[in-house]
């Protein structure tokens, strides 16, 4: 049994108990620091609860691709499409969309791919270290991933993305027949004639259970979890003051990792970070819904099908609609209906619908770095739909900032001040 590290005097508060915050707290406590994890609802109650459960290390292409703004009018006209903006939110999101457009230019796009690939490489190795430290090898599913295409034209259009993956040393195999696809995943519609298979792809059996397990290991090692809705973070003579709805807490360092709500606290500290909410939808079907043997990605339709525990989760899409608009569960139903068309044997009965807020920045890269006015505050948010994927890597980067050690990669691309 490993020895519980004795706490140092430094008081560190991590705000946010999603997968990013929990991973950071776990890593800092593992290094012997005195850490308190704060969240208004508890462990994995928001986006970390219902995601697809994928460690998508091969997904290095940003959402803002060259030429994507030509599609913007279509998004507004198709509220149920794979990427949409509710008309009532179009004016409010306009400044973010301007930055998104600039991020799609070739110079920014190529730089974002490089930065994303570097963070993915670190996160892949960091996950293996985290799994060993948390004694959680049995929670991983190493079953690969199929990215599916309808016809040769769609497949050929994807080849630049596969070349980028090759350039960044991703292992994959391109499949150009229905028979080759069926050997990996039977039961697909014949409309899918081509695919790319990434055998090293990893899924988690249950993203909520994974987050809860890390939190439990954090507590076993002496970490503290508190419920509290953080209203204010401000500097004082004694350090950083964290004010919740019911009390005032003092810390030596604060890490803000509360996902889609993080930018409100950052703004109090003088940093205006253009965070938007990429709302994702899914439906989780019970045991026996389909004989799923690998993670399925229907990229041109904006959704995936993954195995969660003994059931199947159909989810994805991106609705840039902020935190206040009510969920449009018709989006989840549309994805389910498409999945039934693509997987004819899929039983779509008795599913549970869900919507989560994914924190998204215009260039698809997170912010990881110090606040502009004080090095006692570190930001770690904005991972979009890659929070689970990049959680362990982000935790190691934050730990290096806390200790003052040299980070394992250059953090300029993720700087909170880049905007």
Q: Where are the domains of the chain?
A: 11-49+208-273+364-418, 61-105+141-201+275-360
Please list, in sequence order, all residues whose beta carbon lies within 8 angstroms of the beta carbon of residue 321, skipping any fewer than 6 positions away. Answer: 85, 86, 89, 277, 279
Neighbours of 347 (CB within 10 A): 14
What's the predicted TM-score (pTM) here? 0.94
Residues whose CB falls within 8 Å of the CB of residue 42, separated by 6 or more in sequence, listed in order: 17, 227
How far apart CA 303 and CA 59 sit, in angstroms, is 14
3-class DSSP state for residue 258?
coil
Tens place of pLDDT for every residue, the chain, 419 residues?
344 444 455 699 999 999 999 999 999 999 999 999 999 999 999 999 999 999 999 999 998 888 887 776 776 667 677 778 888 888 999 999 999 999 999 989 999 999 999 999 999 999 999 999 999 999 999 999 999 999 999 999 999 999 999 998 899 999 999 999 999 999 999 999 999 999 999 999 999 999 999 999 999 999 999 999 999 999 988 889 999 988 899 999 999 999 999 999 999 999 999 999 999 999 999 999 999 999 999 988 889 999 998 999 999 878 888 999 999 999 999 999 999 999 999 999 999 999 999 999 999 999 999 999 999 999 999 999 999 999 999 999 999 999 999 999 999 999 999 98
Q: Which CATH number fits domain 11-49+208-273+364-418: 3.40.50.920, 2.60.40.10, 3.50.50.60, 3.30.2350.10?
A: 3.50.50.60
**Helix or strand or coil: residue 78?**
coil
Q: Do domains 11-49+208-273+364-418 and 61-105+141-201+275-360 have the same CATH topology?
A: no
Domain 61-105+141-201+275-360 has CATH 3.30.9.10: yes
The Cβ of residue 304 has, within 10 Å, a number of other Cβ atoms equal to 24
């Amino acid at each position: 049994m490993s020895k519980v590290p004795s706490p140092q005097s430094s008081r560190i508060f991590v705000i946010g108990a999603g997968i990013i915050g929990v991973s950071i707290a776990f890593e800092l406590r593992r290094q012997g620091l005195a850490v308190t994890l704060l969240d208004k609802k508890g462990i994995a109650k928001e986006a970390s609860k219902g995601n697809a459960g994928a460690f998508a290390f091969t997904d290095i292409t940003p959402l803002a691709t060259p030429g994507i703004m030509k599609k913007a009018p279509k998004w507004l006209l198709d509220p149920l499409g794979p990427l949409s903006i509710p008309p009532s939110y179009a004016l409010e999101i306009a400044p973010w969309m301007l930055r998104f457009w600039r991020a799609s230019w070739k110079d920014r796009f190529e730089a974002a791919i490089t930065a994303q690939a570097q963070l993915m490489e670190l996160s892949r190795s960091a996950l293996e270290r985290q799994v060993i430290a948390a004694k959680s090898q049995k929670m991983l599913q190493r079953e690969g991933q199929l990215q599916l295409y309808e016809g040769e034209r769609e497949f050929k259009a994807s080849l630049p993305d596969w070349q980028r993956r090759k350039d960044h040393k991703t292992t994959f195999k391109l499949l150009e027949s229905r028979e080759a696809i069926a050997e990996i995943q039977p039961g697909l519609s014949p409309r899918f004639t081509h695919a790319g298979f990434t055998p090293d792809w990893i899924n988690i059996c249950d993203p909520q259970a994974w987050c809860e397990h890390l939190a439990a290991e954090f507590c076993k090692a002496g970490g503290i979890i508190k419920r509290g809705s953080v209203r204010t973070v401000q500097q004082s003579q004694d350090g950083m003051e964290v004010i919740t709805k019911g009390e005032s807490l003092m810390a030596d360092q604060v890490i803000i990792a509360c996902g889609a709500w993080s930018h409100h606290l950052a703004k109090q500290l003088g940093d205006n970070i253009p965070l938007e909410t990429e709302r994702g939808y899914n439906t989780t079907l019970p045991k026996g819904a389909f004989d799923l043997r690998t993670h399925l990605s229907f990229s041109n339709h904006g959704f995936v099908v993954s195995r969660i525990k003994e059931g199947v989760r159909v989810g994805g899409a991106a609705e840039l609609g902020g935190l206040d608009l009510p969920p449009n569960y018709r989006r989840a139903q549309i994805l389910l209906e498409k999945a039934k068309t693509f997987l004819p044997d899929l039983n779509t009965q008795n599913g549970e619908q869900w919507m989560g807020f994914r924190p998204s920045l215009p260039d698809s890269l997170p912010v990881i770095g110090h606040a502009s006015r004080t090095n006692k505050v570190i930001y770690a948010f904005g991972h979009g739909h890659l929070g689970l994927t990049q959680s362990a890597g982000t935790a190691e980067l934050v730990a290096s900032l806390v200790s003052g050690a040299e980070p394992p990669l250059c953090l300029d691309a993720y700087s909170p001040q880049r905007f």
